[in-house]
Amino acid sequence: MISFNYETNFKLTEEDKITTWISSIIKNENCVEDEINYVFCNDAYLHKLNLEFLQHDTLTDIISFDYSVGKRLQGDIFISVERVEDNAKDFNVDFDTELHRVIIHGILHYCGYKDKTESDAKMMRSKENEALKVLSEMS
């Protein structure tokens, strides 16, 4: 079950479509969907989590807490809407594209993809692009 929670004024449009999309990506990766909670928040909220749980004194667009067991995916994904807005401007893409990339990025981590090395990051980006294409083809 995928749920969306809000700690800021932002509200995701087309929750049902996004849920269906995420579920399809999980299935395509031969994983099983369990309880996945998205929390949309602001920079201050996510910065506090970054300090408290990861000891990182930086702003970030996403933090995911992975509670998956094998291929059964479960966890909490926190997304800073402010950071996504800034990144969209920096990368010269529209907000929704960047938001969807970040949304699926957390899921891909749960599926086992990493992004710490250059080759892993390249694979992650490729998987993100494939997932974004799937979303764009959904009616």
pLDDT(92) > 90:
yes
Reduced to 3 states (helix: H, G, I; strand: E, B; else coil), residue 115 is coil
pLDDT(94) > 80:
yes
Contact 18, 103 (CB under 8 A): yes
Cα–Cα distance measured from residue 85 to residue 62, given in angstroms and rounded to the nearest whole number:
12
**Residue 54 has what pLDDT?**
87
pTM for this prediction: 0.94
Fold for domain 2-137?
A: Collagenase (Catalytic Domain) (3.40.390)
115 annotated binding-site participant: yes
Cα–Cα distance measured from residue 4 to residue 37, given in angstroms and rounded to the nearest whole number:
6
Secondary element (H or E) of residue 33: strand 32-41
Tens digit of pLDDT for each residue in 42-80?
999 999 999 999 899 999 999 999 999 999 999 999 999
Instruction: Give the Å distances, CA to CA, from 120 to 54, 90, 96, 112, 127.
Output: 21, 22, 24, 11, 11
Contact 132, 93 (CB under 8 A): no
**Residue 139 has what pLDDT?**
62
Tens digit of pLDDT for each residue in 102-135?
999 999 999 999 999 999 999 999 999 999 999 9
- The amino acid present at 9, given as its one-letter code, is N
| Length of the chain measured in residues | 139
Tens digit of pLDDT for each residue in 4-25?
999 999 999 899 999 999 999 9
